[in-house]
Every structure is written in structure tokens, then in C-alpha cells.
């Protein structure tokens, strides 16, 4: 295939966000179609260059074809809807029923979540795994908070090591997800500002005291409700086919839920904190696409270098 | 039939009237396949390449009959409107 045709196919492959056998199947069909068409056009008397131009014109723009491929494959089954919304519902349930202060229940829930996340991650990263992954970040966050309780000298030594390590791990995970589709990184990160918002309301200094536990008991139904909103968002996200609608849904739901958090906390969440959390929420929708663009540029550079090397050998 | 064959057949039968962006055929075929109206099968050609041939299912045939009746009714209605001198107004 010529560089123009390879670029066309690669553009469709990249934008349609397919993976695995779906990708190989439909891309293979497009390649065969292009080869057949080129043969017919050159048999009809067109030069190779003219044939390529005519063929690409008649195939349709890569973004149009990719969007239709995306919409043909993006809708998840009801089983996926159930799996994707389950972790949010579990957390919603644990707060609505006020079981959150039983360390046993929380530990079982976190172990279950980490187990299912590892299973999903190792079995092809299905679309439902990303909402489980959000809560798998919690043990990392909890471990970081527990470091605050270490004797003062130890905290000063351990925290500067722990934070870069945790950040490196998070970026590594984000890179992996962005290779599939940046939108799933946003799905994964969506509950984080909401969890931080509730945590800062309950415990503004970052430490859990008797007063903060009482505050958590009072707010538990509203905390539960915010997780239910997340579950409904993810359920709708899995069923929607159109990409722009998916992005709008996540952005709107995140902002509305965060506004609800600020509303129910009745002044416990300061304006500065709210603005900070809103910025974090916007970061969730800006950082992953930027990361994806960077990875794509790197991949294109590698492809260009390979082409240059092949031309030199020829 | 395979994708390219479908495009050529459509163009020939409509005498060149129906020409659409050819790349969009495959998402449409895959949607129909997901709905169980078609099924696709890869076949290896003598030159080693692979081609995906599409076949209509029993459900697809039933749906085709339904849609064909609807289109026929629509066509008849349009013909009646366009026929000159039939108006009672």
C-alpha cells in the first residue's frame, strides 16, 4: 500500500477506537475493498496516482467512516451496563445503608473491587473495567492518608517517596487506558473529584476525627445518592453510541454531581475548594486527550522513521 | 456477496443513481450483522487474500419482505400522486 492509503487506513483505525478482532476484521475489509477498487480503476486506464485520488474520494473521509464504525461497535450490552454501574451502586449502597463505618464491610468491598479490576484488566480490558478501576485507586489514596499518621519524622521521609511513586503508577495506568481510548480514562477518573469533595467536607484537615465521623453519618444518604448518580451516568454512557453525546454526558454529570456535593455540604466546602475541584474535574476531560495526542504523535514519528529507512534501503 | 461486489451491484442496478461513500458500507453491514439480519464469513482466495462474504439470515429475509412491502406501498403512493389527470380537486 502507498503512504496515502496507509495513512487513510491508520487514521480510520485510530479514530474508530476499535480494538482486537473487531479492528482486524473491519480494517481488513476496507483494505481489500481499496485494493479491488484500485485494480479496477487502473484497469480502466487511470494512472496509479489518479486511481489513488479517485479511490480515496469515493471511500469517504476517514473521520466519517471512523465515526460510523465507532457507532456500530460502541454500544455495550445490558450485561456490560450492569457490570460497569455495579461498583458505584455498591458504594452507594454502603453509604445509604450507613454501613460505611464497618471496617470489615469496607475491606471486603475494596478487596472485591481490586480482585474484579485485576481480572478485567488481565482479560482484555473490557469497557466495564474502568469504573471498577476508579475505586481500585482508593487503597492507594487511603495508604497515602495513613502516612499522615506516622510519627512526624517518618512522614517527612516517606511522603516525598510515596507521592511520586503513586503519581508514576497513575500515569502508567492512564497511558495504558489512553492507548485504548482517552474517554475511558475520564470514566475512571470521574468519581475522584466527587470522593475528594466529600472527604474534604467531612475532614477539611485530612485527618479523621470523631467530629468528621459524625459529619459522615449525617451526609451518608447524600454521599450514597452521588454514587447512584454516577452509576446512572455510566449505565447511560455504555448504552449511548455517539461519541459526542458520551463526552457531554460525562462532563455534565461530573459538574452537576460536584455542584450537588457543594449544595448538600451546606458551606462545609469552601468556594476555593469547590473551584479547585471544578478545575480537577475539567482536568479529567483535558489531560487524557492531550496525553492521547502526544502518544499518537510519537507513533506517527516512529512510522515516518520506518518509512524513511525503507526508502533508503530501496 | 462481499462489500465491493455489493457497491458495484447497487450502482449497476440503479444505473449509477445510487452512489454513496463506499467506506460507510462496512459499518452498515456490521450493524446489520450485529442485529442478526446478516452473517459474514471469511473466505480465503486462491491468491492467499481473505474476503468477507455476507449472507442474509432467516430473520433478515423476514425483515426484507416487510421493508419491501413498505417501499412498494410508498412507491405506489408516489406514482398515484405523480399520475396526471387523476385529481378530483
User: Which stretches of B1-89 are DSSP H helices?
Assistant: 3-13, 25-34, 58-82
Please check the confidence at residue A114 and state whether its pLDDT lies above 70: yes
Q: What ipTM did this prediction achieve?
A: 0.85
Grid cell locating B36? 442478526
Residue A100 has pLDDT above 60, yes or no: yes
Whole-angstrom distance, CA of residue B67 vs CA of residue B73: 10
How many residue pairs bridge chain A and chain B with CB atoms within 8 Å of each other? 61
Q: How confident is the model at residue A23 (pLDDT cuts 50, 70, 90)?
A: low
pTM summary value: 0.82
Dihedral angle over CA of A44, A47, A50, A52, nearest 10: 90
pLDDT digits (tens, 9 = 90+) for A209-224: 788 888 888 888 889 9
Report the alpha-carbon distance of residue A167 to residue A236 in Å, rounded. Answer: 30
**What distances in angstroms separate CA A259 from CA A87, A141, A189, A203, A250, one per listed residue?**
22, 23, 17, 18, 14
- Neighbouring CB atoms inside 10 A of A30's CB total 23
B30 to A33: CB separation less than 8 angstroms, yes or no: no
Taking alpha carbons only, the member of A207, A202, A216 closest to residue A102 is A216
pLDDT digits (tens, 9 = 90+) for A51-85: 999 999 999 999 999 999 999 988 899 999 999 99
What is the tens place of the pLDDT at every residue in A239-267?
Answer: 999 999 999 999 999 888 888 888 777 66
| pLDDT of A208 over the 80 cut | no
Which residue out of A5, A25, A33, A58 would a mutagenesis test of the B interface target, given it has the greatest number of B Cβ atoms within 10 Å? A33
DSSP state of B24: G
Helix axes A103-122, A138-146, angle to 10 degrees: 130
Contact B49/A32, CB-based, under 8 Å? yes
Q: Is the pLDDT of residue B79 over 80?
A: yes
What mean pLDDT do residues B20-38 have? Answer: 93
Rounded mean pLDDT of chain A? 87
**Cell 485494493 sits at which residue?**
A35
Res A204 pLDDT > 80 = no
Amino acid at each position: 500500500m502507498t503512504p496515502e492509503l496507509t495513512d487513510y487506513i491508520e487514521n480510520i483505525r485510530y479514530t474508530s477506537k476499535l480494538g482486537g478482532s473487531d479492528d482486524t476484521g473491519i480494517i481488513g475489509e476496507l483494505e481489500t475493498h481499496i485494493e479491488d477498487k484500485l485494480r479496477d480503476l487502473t484497469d480502466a486506464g487511470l494512472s496509479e496516482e489518479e486511481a489513488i485520488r479517485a479511490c480515496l474520494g469515493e471511500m469517504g473521509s476517514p473521520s466519517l467512516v471512523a465515526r460510523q464504525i465507532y457507532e456500530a461497535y460502541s454500544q455495550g450490552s445490558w450485561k456490560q451496563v450492569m457490570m460497569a454501574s455495579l461498583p458505584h451502586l455498591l458504594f452507594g449502597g454502603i453509604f445509604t445503608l450507613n454501613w460505611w463505618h464497618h471496617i470489615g464491610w469496607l475491606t471486603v468491598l475494596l478487596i472485591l473491587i481490586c480482585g474484579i479490576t485485576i481480572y478485567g484488566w488481565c482479560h482484555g480490558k473490557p469497557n466495564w473495567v474502568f469504573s471498577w478501576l476508579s475505586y481500585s485507586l482508593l487503597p492507594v489514596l487511603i495508604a497515602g492518608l495513613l502516612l499522615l499518621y506516622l510519627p512526624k519524622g517518618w512522614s517527612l521521609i516517606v511522603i516525598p517517596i510515596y507521592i511520586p511513586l503513586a503519581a508514576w503508577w497513575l500515569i502508567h495506568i492512564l497511558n495504558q487506558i489512553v492507548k485504548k481510548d482517552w474517554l475511558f480514562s475520564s470514566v475512571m477518573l470521574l468519581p475522584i473529584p466527587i470522593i475528594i469533595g466529600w472527604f474534604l467536607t467531612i475532614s477539611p484537615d485530612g485527618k479523621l476525627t470523631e467530629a468528621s465521623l459524625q459529619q459522615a453519618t449525617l451526609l451518608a444518604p447524600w454521599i450514597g445518592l452521588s454514587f447512584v448518580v454516577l452509576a446512572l451516568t455510566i449505565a447511560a454512557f455504555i448504552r449511548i453510541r455517539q461519541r459526542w453525546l458520551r463526552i457531554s454526558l460525562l462532563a455534565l454529570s461530573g459538574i452537576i454531581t460536584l455542584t450537588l456535593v457543594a449544595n448538600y455540604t451546606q458551606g462545609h466546602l469552601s468556594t476555593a475548594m469547590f473551584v479547585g475541584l471544578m478545575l480537577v474535574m475539567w482536568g479529567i476531560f483535558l489531560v487524557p486527550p492531550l496525553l492521547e495526542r502526544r502518544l499518537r504523535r510519537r507513533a506517527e514519528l516512529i512510522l515516518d522513521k520506518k518509512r524513511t529507512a525503507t526508502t533508503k534501503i530501496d | 456477496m462481499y462489500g465491493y461486489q455489493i457497491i458495484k451491484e447497487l450502482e449497476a442496478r440503479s444505473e449509477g443513481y445510487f452512489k454513496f461513500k463506499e467506506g460507510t458500507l462496512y459499518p452498515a453491514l456490521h450493524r446489520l450483522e450485529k442485529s442478526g439480519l446478516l452473517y459474514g464469513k471469511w473466505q480465503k482466495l486462491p491468491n492467499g487474500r481473505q474476503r468477507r462474504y455476507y449472507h442474509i439470515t432467516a430473520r433478515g429475509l423476514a425483515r426484507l419482505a416487510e421493508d419491501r412491502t413498505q417501499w412498494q406501498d410508498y412507491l405506489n403512493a408516489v406514482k398515484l400522486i405523480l399520475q396526471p389527470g387523476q385529481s378530483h380537486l
